[in-house]
Amino acid sequence: MRTNFLILPAVIALCVHAQKVVVTNDDGWAVAQIRAQYNALKLGGFDVVLSAPAQDMSGTGSLSTDPIPLLIPCQYDSCPAGSPAVGSDPNDPRLNYVNAFPVDSARYGIKTLSPKFFGSQPDLVVSGPNTGCKRPGTSAPYEVDNGAACEAGNEGIPAIAFSGQGATHVSFTTLETDPTSSATIAALTWAELTTDFVRTFFSAPAPFLPSGTVLNVNYPHLGNATSGCTEASDVGFVFTRVFPPLLPIDVVTCGNKGKLPTEDDVKNSGRCLASVSVISSKLKLDVGKDTQAKVLQGLSGLGFVCL
């Protein structure tokens, strides 16, 4: 299976070169996934700044606190103990850590780093791709990648939370020291997928998302020859919801009679499919069918497939 959105006209790529993107996550600023994503977006022509936790903050939800100086070294010894509460890579001032929670990292990227580097607010916040599976039927309220994305949504900034199955947390140095490892391949493939997704996202007319909403995207396990899921171009996208509906209250598509498949339905299908859901940034619940319809139309360039 090949997705249509990977073969977009070159003119679209030219139109998005100036789009300003803050990249954050919950896994930490020094993991391979976020560095691969930062690099891929830069190579894709986007104006990018990274603002992520100094440590792995997976599972901390929407917790928030004031950043404090480092009592222990940053993740993977990427900065020493005693470092300031916020800081940057000595070789790239656009790579920034925040010694607090993911929500705080997203806020710092929006309110401090964006004016500094962009001279304005960002056009988009990308959270992730974060690693690991979400808990069945309860993914949105308990996953911090949604917390960071929802913080952006609550600040009035379009945001997308990306997660992927099957990879492990490794240092960004692995991208160079072990380029053929499964972790490196997953990081690079997710980065390619996400960059193409963002390009398609920006190809729609503004506003790119209805106010008060964020997107939640879950990638399948890569490197699975059985499901034919080895490259970015193998992945198809399914429009979904997070929680199972009791009544037919969703947008009608794929002959679903008003009930969208859930993210778990896609995950458990065994196919090379990614789920795309729209949630409220405040409630972290599925949105109504009218809002779903607007997003479905705006993201039509993804070439959604039926489950």
Domain containing 124 equals 4-302
The answer for residues whose C-beta is within 8 angstroms of residue 93's C-beta and 6 or more apart is none
Domain annotation covers residue 146: yes
Taking only the tens place, the pLDDT of each residue in 239-295 is: 999 999 999 999 999 999 999 999 999 999 999 999 999 999 999 999 999 999 999
Q: Tell me if 240 sits within 8 A of 215, measured CB to CB.
A: no
pLDDT: which is higher, 61 or 30: 30
Q: Tell me if 294 sits within 8 A of 253, measured CB to CB.
A: no
Q: Considering its fold, how many domains does the chain have in total?
A: 1
C-alpha span between 222 and 37 (Å, rounded): 16
Domain annotation covers residue 110: yes
Tell me if residue 274 falls in helix, strand or coil: strand
Domain annotation covers residue 208: yes
Taking only the tens place, the pLDDT of each residue in 212-248 is: 999 999 999 887 667 788 899 999 999 999 999 999 9
Domain annotation covers residue 174: yes
Domain annotation covers residue 307: no
User: Tokens 């140095």 correspond to what residue?
Assistant: 173
> What is the spatial order of strands in the sheet that 124-131 belongs to?
86-89, 92-98, 47-53, 20-24, 124-131, 159-164, 213-219, 273-280, 236-240
Domain annotation covers residue 61: yes
pLDDT over 80 (residue 88)? yes
Taking only the tens place, the pLDDT of each residue in 109-133 is: 999 999 999 999 999 999 999 986 5
pLDDT over 90 (residue 82)? yes
Domain annotation covers residue 235: yes
- pLDDT level of residue 59 (50, 70, 90 thresholds): confident
pLDDT over 60 (residue 13)? no
CATH number where 96 lies: 3.40.1210.10
Domain annotation covers residue 237: yes
pLDDT over 50 (residue 172)? yes
